[in-house]
Amino acid sequence: VVPAEVRPHAKVGLLPPYAAGKPPVAVPGLAPFKLSSNENPHAPVPAVLERIHEVVTGAPGAASPVCRYPDPLSTALRERLAAHLEVPADDVVTGAGSLGALSQLITAFAGDGGESGAPDEVVFAWRSFEAYPIVVRSAGAKDVQVPLTADHRHDLPAMLEAITDRTRVVLLCTPNNPTGPVLTTDEVEDFLGRVPPHVLVVIDEAYVEFVRHPQAVSGLDMYRRHANVVVLRTFSKAHGLANLRVGYSVSRPEITAALRTVAVPFAVSTVAEQAAIASLDHLDDVLAGVQTVVDERERVVAALAEAGWDVPETHANFVWLPLGERAAEFAAAAGEKALSVRAFAGEGVRVSIGEREANDRFLEVARAFGV
Ligand code: PMP
């Protein structure tokens, strides 16, 4: 029995659960599909899988490198990203997924406030990515959640008003998970022009490759123009490498120095690093796969509209059904058809765009459920 004196820090009791998307429950006669975690339904492109195999097994005649630690700085990947994004390699920091990169940021820039006696504050829209409050509260900081507008977008004026002298970081999620809309360049420029200089603004672009909105903000443009902007990106979605855990941030060297200091050492394996490089080397093939997902998204959105559903404009690889109290009921109906979707009780259901057959089945469920 663990002695009563051994107990988690009080902040642990304040963490909301992270309810990861579940796999579908088998239904006889139906192929199961997981539409609950916004993964890429396509496997990585063959050249990437070959590279993963090659890295794991080692070069011909050489030992596998798997018994050795990876490069803690992911130098090869950072240099490849620097060339690809046209940014200095020093401005890139990798992490175990963009979640790892976000965790570095919050750990380095927000905390319990020390001797001041009041915690630092991190402002973000809500509902948004459910890991945000977990990462913020784990750091001992306080999450300040600003409700989305009625049309499921960030309420930037309200977010500005929520900033205090305790605010250290603002998180912008574009496209917003789980609702789908993007922020525009004009909106974000205006916001950045009004944010006090002591606040870091993080632009989480996990789904950027799926965006087709002509006025959508580019996080990298904002980082080039504003010294307090940090961009987060990932290989989990468009690149189909969710399981390998590799993401990164882009920001000024004064910021990246702090991120490297707090980063969990060796968080990105050589396998993940080399897979990411290979994926960038085959970007045309990767983006062709992304386009098929975008085409499917447009087909799904059009079919939903035709069936009378009013869903927010989505630029990610998922759609949001604002079902309110009927969210759980919809998820159950999808489950009966061997589809796992993501219900947020009392709010709505997020459904990832999957294989064509999966999307067709989701549309059948939506039509049968009615609006
Ligand atoms: N940001 C957003 C908005 C996300 O939706 C996700 C994944 N669901 C992440 C970050 C983290 O993804 P990863 O750690 O796999 O890069």
Q: How many Cβ atoms sit within 10 Å of the Cβ of residue 336?
A: 11
Residue at 325: amino acid letter:
E
Complex confidence, ipTM: 0.99
Q: Evaluate whether 279 touches 48 at the Cβ level (below 8 Å).
A: yes
Domain 21-38+284-369 shares a fold with domain 47-281: no
Are the C-beta atoms of 253 and 88 separated by less than 8 Å? yes
The closest-lying atom of ligand 1 relative to the alpha carbon of residue 100 is 14
Q: Which CATH class is domain 47-281?
A: alpha beta
Distance from Cα 357 to the centre of ligand 1, integer Å:
25
- Residue with structure tokens 């993007």? 182
Residue to mutate, 174, 234, 246, ligand 1, most ligand atoms under 8 Å from C-beta = 234
Q: Which residues pair with 321 in a beta bridge?
A: 349
What's the 123 CA to ligand 1 centre distance in angstroms? 18
Which burial class, exposed, middle or buried, applies to 253 when counting CB atoms under 10 A from its CB (0-12, 13-18, 19+)?
exposed
**CA 27 to centroid of ligand 1, rounded, Å:** 29
Q: Distance, CA 69 to ligand 1 centroid (Å)?
A: 25
Query: So what's the pLDDT on residue 279?
Result: 98
Separation in Å, CA 282 to CA 98, 139, 269: 21, 37, 20
What does the pLDDT read at residue 65? 86
Domain ranges of the chain: 21-38+284-369, 47-281
* 99 Cα–ligand 1 center, Å: 6
pLDDT at site 147: 98
Euclidean distance between CA atoms 125 and 20, whole angstroms: 20
Which ligand 1 atom is nearest residue 236's CA? Answer: 15
Per-residue pLDDT of the chain (371 residues; tens, 9 = 90+): 999 899 999 889 889 888 888 899 889 999 999 999 999 999 999 999 999 999 999 888 888 889 999 999 999 999 999 999 999 999 999 999 999 999 999 999 999 998 888 999 999 999 999 999 999 999 999 999 999 999 999 999 999 999 999 999 999 999 999 999 999 999 999 999 999 989 999 999 999 999 999 999 999 999 999 999 999 999 999 999 999 999 999 999 999 999 999 999 999 999 999 999 999 999 999 999 999 999 999 999 999 999 999 999 999 999 999 999 999 999 999 999 999 999 999 999 999 999 999 999 999 999 999 88
Quick check: 318 and 345 in contact, CB under 8 A?
no
Cβ–Cβ under 8 Å, residues 162 and 144? yes
> According to the model, what pLDDT value does residue 20 have?
85
- Under a CB-based contact definition with an 8 Å cutoff, are residues 268 and 94 in contact? yes
CA distance 188 to 202: 11
Ligand 1 binding pocket (C-beta < 6 A) is 38, 97-99, 129, 173, 177, 204, 206, 234, 236, 242, 247
Topology, domain 21-38+284-369: Aspartate Aminotransferase, domain 1 (3.90.1150)
143 Cα to the center of ligand 1, angstroms: 18
Q: How far is Cα 127 from Cα 312, in angstroms, rounded to an integer?
A: 14
- How high is the pLDDT of residue 18? 85
- Residue carrying the six token digits 């999966």: 358
Alpha helices, H only, 12-122: 46-57, 75-85, 97-109
